[in-house]
Amino acid sequence: MIAGDRVHRPVGWWTPTVHALLEHLHDVGFDRVPRPLGVVGDREVLTMIPGDSGAAGWSRVVPDEGLRAFARLLRDYHEAVRGFVPPPDARWALSYPRPATGAVVCHGDFGPWNVVWDGLTPVGLLDFDFAGPADPRYDVAYALEYVAPFRPDADAVRWLGFATPPDRRRRIEVFAEEYGLPDTGGLVDAVIDRQRLDAVHVAALAARGLEPQRTRVENGGLDELADRVRWSRANRALVE
């Protein structure tokens, strides 16, 4: 709920840790995230970042300019978060596999809908509910699933803002280059691994009674997520 220049959102067990994360980001100069203002009852209160978000984000990552800006935002976020030390009692909504070295607190839901846009320029990053320590490639893979996209041509044109079927290989290359990866090796497998992990996460949140995950599972959402993995495996020729 938006009230003036404030956003009120439901709290979770992860909220205090996420607020510490957001404060760190502001402290190091990464001000493209909401500033936490506290908790009132069962709602957290955050500053609002003006601009376009939600469904409006899909069309912004279709042009190369928006796609590159989206990748740079993720790179900048990962750089800003590297020095964050979670509080001793940190609790996260989800658990991610961690590498032996190089883990950062991933955003966890880095899609175009969670970015605030001014034209093709990202001016904000929202919704850190699913943040957690992980290999930064988990965020890269999650983003690529949606912006390559790892979806049939009909879905890309009908739902994701593309006028014609996308050149997925080229879009992965563009994102990887702008993010700063040396090449695209292993990214397709990383996306498929991330898709499998999404199903685990949705099931775990649903089991705790969280919405919309509980309703999603009841309505066959896990089958839909399994279909996404099957599509990605069957259409590797489109993406690598």
Secondary structure element (H or E) that encloses residue 43, with its range: strand 43-47
**108 and 146 in one domain?**
yes
**93 and 35 in one domain?**
no
Distance CA 155, CA 153 (A): 5
**134 and 36 in one domain?**
no
Secondary structure element (H or E) that encloses residue 8, with its range: strand 6-10
Buried b (16+ CB within 10 A) or exposed e, 116-134: bbeebebbbbbbbbbbbbb
Domain boundary among 12, 30, 47: 47
Residue with tokens 């493209």: 32
The number of domains in the chain is 2
pTM of the model: 0.95
Range of the domain at 21: 2-47
**80 and 19 in one domain?**
no
Sequential pLDDT tens for the chain (240 residues): 777 789 999 999 999 999 999 999 999 999 999 999 999 999 999 999 999 999 999 999 999 999 999 999 999 999 999 999 999 999 999 999 999 889 999 999 999 999 999 999 999 999 999 999 999 999 999 999 999 999 999 999 999 999 999 999 999 999 999 999 999 999 999 999 999 999 999 999 999 999 999 999 999 999 999 999 999 999 999 999
Q: What is the CATH number of the domain that holds 59?
A: 3.90.1200.10
**161 and 188 in one domain?**
yes
**207 and 92 in one domain?**
yes
**67 and 25 in one domain?**
no
What are residue 52's DSSP bridge partners? 117
